[in-house]
Structure 1
Amino acid sequence: MEERDYFAWISTVKDIQYTKLNRLIKGVNGIEELYHSSEKKLLNMTDITKKDVEAILKAKTEFDKNRFYDELEKNNIKFVTIKDDEFPDKLRIFDHKPYFLFYKGSLPDNDKKSVAMVGARACSNYGRNMAKSIAKELSENGVQIISGMARGIDTYSQLGAIEGGEKTFAIVGCGVDIVYPIENIELYENIIEYGGIISEYPPGSKPLNWHFPQRNRIISGLADIVAVIEAKEKSGSLITVEWALEQGKDIYALPGRVGDALSGGCNRLLKVGAGVLTSAKDILEELHIEEKNRASKITSQENLLEKDFSLVYIELGLQPINISELIEKTGIEYERLSEILLQLQLDGMVEQPMENYYARVVV
């Protein structure tokens, strides 16, 4: 077998975490030697259990490299190892790097800047809009968006990236042939077309709880900057931040209202020195990318509105506002204001995230 075949074999060992795999490979001076190690030698290794050894030996007995590659090809899945030229350069330098990756679509371009966008699954309308808006503008400026395709912030970040036109990549906590969450089936297919689905877990792997904290090191590892859009004080997103800090990456956080549970984690990050994220411009400046002018798009859209429509639209932002407050700010009577808001919704410029509350849709 060739060296990549040995990595293919070890990828089939069930439930082996990267920390243990790292110890195994280093403990015997390489993947090929690991394959040829005896049961006795494996049992004498530090922190390796009898159950681990049984799984390794079972995988060696059952592994058929031809069947392995045939199954991947049949399902349009690619396999890359750290010994291959196409393996992402950003991951090579870390001691906790994955030794192999499965992917559908493509891998990130090593020569382009990348930003990881993470945040709450149960996010607010404010978080959804900001995630989509920032990701879209970063994408329009040639920045690749890395995320996890989870519900909430991940989903809206990757939707924005697709709209922006640059590639986006989802690092998943299951096999790349499994759509999780299932409601993201359309997003999954779009990401494959406009980027890639990536995992260190072999096809068929279920989305187990321990997979997600482990995959977060790949999300941060592939990025130049990690942006946290909304996160509670105790959030899975902060695990990604911990990995990013260990990897020497810059962290940016979206400010939120004091006392808002969904912004507790972000506000704490800002207190300890994270960069303040108010728009894509903050990150583009950090990456030394000259921002393309989007103001003309917004201005031209506003110019299309009649006077009353324009007055209402100007008062709306990404944070939802109550209709009674809009009446006070615009001086427009309730019936007329309701007509305007309805028309703006039909035109796709305004949304109603909850009863009697309105916000702009990201342009």
Structure 2
Amino acid sequence: MDNTNKNINQNANTNENKKINNKRGSEYKEQLEKLKDKNYIKELEKQGIKVVSVNDRDYPAKLLPYDHRPEYLFYKGRLPDRDKPVVAMVGARACSNYGRKMARALARELSENGVQIISGMARGIDTYSQIGALEGGTPTFAVLGSGVDVCYPTENIELYNDILKNGGIISEYPPGAGPIAWHFPLRNRIISGLSDKVIVVEAREKSGSLITVEWALEQGKDVMAVPGRVGEKLSDGCNRLIRAGAGIITGANDVLNDIQYSGSKNENEKKQKEKGLEKDLALLYSGLRLQPKNIYELMNETGFKYEELTGMLLKLQLMGLVEQPSENYYSKA
């Protein structure tokens, strides 16, 4: 999308829907206090529930740059693979037969080509996107508006269990938390934050899916929409996004070509730059990973002083080989 974020933002739902509400306050913090109790953590592990904090190595790198990132994430199964593309698919709960077929077919083909699909496991488009992703074979992931041990909607329990066979169920809400209405607009920032692209398959003019679009635009993510018939209420949201500048998707290749082009081009450029690195820079670069490392961890590993490291890291950043997703954290680009 070229210079269209402002237009789409104006047409999406109001910012009130995505502000991190004070409702997260006391109740949420009280529950998270339990995480200081090692026995509580052990009990979670017995239930197959893991927790990762923003300071842990396993915390998703895609979320680190955002000040609205969750301090903790609970998950069952696993987290998305850092080295594979992630596409979020969202849309209407009360979708049409056309929407169901498109969501399932797109997700299946993307999954067959190694793309990880992430959604909210809601009724409608979310459900059919994740069914298609399971058929494609690449792990799929659901971000819930409840605790990871609470399947919502309850009729998706089979889908919930199928996702856990290879993928993961993720939530910022502690185990046992119910599907409260205000949880859902907030969880959408995690769906978009974990993705490389957001696809809206079918949406009404004032669809809740457009809250995910708002978050995606704020996070600098690419947004695409499936066009629908003019005059169909379930297509109004998607058609409006396209009119405002969102990418048009009529098949999986519209996404795959973009991902492959960007990947191959960047990879070739990166390999050329890597070959020309000086010895010290090469040593430092070899110790970096896609998972961000703290500068003090790099000091211990390489033996370089703080001043030396900051200068070297700046050089690598200017070469496009290193990124700084958050203060004092560095990763391979």
Q: Please name the residue that 1:239 is paired with.
A: 211
How far off its partner does 1:99 sit?
A: 1.2
Matches within 5 A, 1:266-285: 266-285=238-257
Q: Which residue of 1 aligns with 2:222?
A: 250
Which of 68, 91, 97 is the aligned partner of 1:125?
A: 97
Give distance in 1, aligned partners of 2:26 and 2:150.
28
Cα deviation, 1:181-237, whole Å, max 9, x if unaligned, reads 011010000111120000000000000000000000000001000000000000110
Task: Answer yes or no: is the 8 Å Cα contact 1:117–1:145 preserved in 2.
Answer: yes
- Superposed CA RMSD in Å reads 2.4
SS in structure 2 of the partner of residue 284 of structure 1:
helix
Larger-Rg structure: 1
Displacement after TM superposition at 1:58 (Å): 9.3
> How far did 1:159 drift?
0.5
Distance 1:58 1:139, change over 3 A: closer
Provide the C-alpha distance between the structure 2 equivalents of 1:101 and 1:193, rounded to a whole number of angstroms: 19
Is 1:195 aligned with 2:167? yes
CA apart distance, 1:285: 1.3
Preserved CA contact (<8 Å) 1:141 1:289: no
CA contact (8 A) 1:118 1:228 kept: yes
The letter of the residue matching 1:156 is Y
Q: Does the 8 Å CA contact 2:200/2:224 hold for their aligned counterparts?
A: yes
Residue of structure 2 equivalent to 1:114: 86
- Counterpart for residue 353 of structure 1: none
The alpha-carbon deviation at position 67 of structure 1 amounts to 2.8
Shift of 1:71: 2.0
Structure with the bigger RCO (C-alpha within 8 Å, sep 6+) is 2
TM-score, normalised relative to structure 2: 0.70
| In 2, Cα distance between equivalents of 1:239 and 1:91 | 17
Q: How does 1:151-170 map to 2 (within 5 A)?
A: 151-170=123-142
* TM-score (normalizing by structure 1): 0.64
Name the SS of the counterpart of 1:288 in structure 2: helix
1:109 & 1:91 partners in 2: Cα distance?
13
Amino acid at match of 1:121: R
Within the candidate set 75, 79, 103, 2:75 is matched to: 103
1:225 corresponding residue in structure 2: 197
The percent identity for this pair of structures is 62
| 1:302-325 residue CA offsets vs partner (Å, 9 max, x unmatched) | xxxxxxxxxxxxxxxxxxxxxxxx
Superposition map of 1:1-363 within 5 A = 19=20, 65-288=37-260
Q: Is the CA contact 1:18–1:98 (under 8 Å) kept in the aligned structure 2?
A: no
Supply the AA of the counterpart residue of 1:77: I
- Stretches of structure 2 lacking an aligned partner (at least 5 in a row): 1-17, 263-333
Sort the Cα spacing of 1:288 and 1:151 in 2 relative to 1 into closer, same or farther, 3 A: same
Q: Which runs of 4+ in 1 moved over 3 A?
A: 17-20, 51-60
CA gap of 1:141–1:73, structure 2 versus 1, over 3 A, is same
Task: Note if contact 1:104-1:197 (Cα within 8 Å) is conserved in structure 2.
Answer: yes
Deviations 1:60-85 (A, max 9, x none): 5x776133112201211000111111
Are the counterparts in 2 of residues 118 and 229 from structure 1 also a CA contact under 8 Å?
A: yes
* Cα pair distance change 1:141/1:58, threshold 3 Å: closer
> Would the aligned equivalents of 2:112 and 2:137 in 1 still touch at CA under 8 Å?
yes
* Consecutive unaligned residues in structure 1, runs of 5 or more: 1-16, 21-47, 291-363
**Aligned residue pair count:** 245
Answer yes or no: is the 8 Å Cα contact 1:18–1:96 preserved in 2.
no
Name the residue aligned to 1:28: none
Letter in 2 for 1:227: I
Separation of aligned partners in 2, 1:283 and 1:53: 42
> Could you tell me how far apart the structure 2 residues matched to 1:54 and 1:164 are?
40
Which amino acid letter does the alignment assign opposite residue 151 of structure 1?
R
Determine helix, strand or coil for the equivalent of 1:150. Answer: coil
Aligned equivalents of 1:55 and 1:133: distance in 2? 38
* Aligned equivalents of 1:107, 1:54: Cα separation in 2: 26
- Counterpart-to-counterpart distance in 1, 2:166 and 2:147: 19
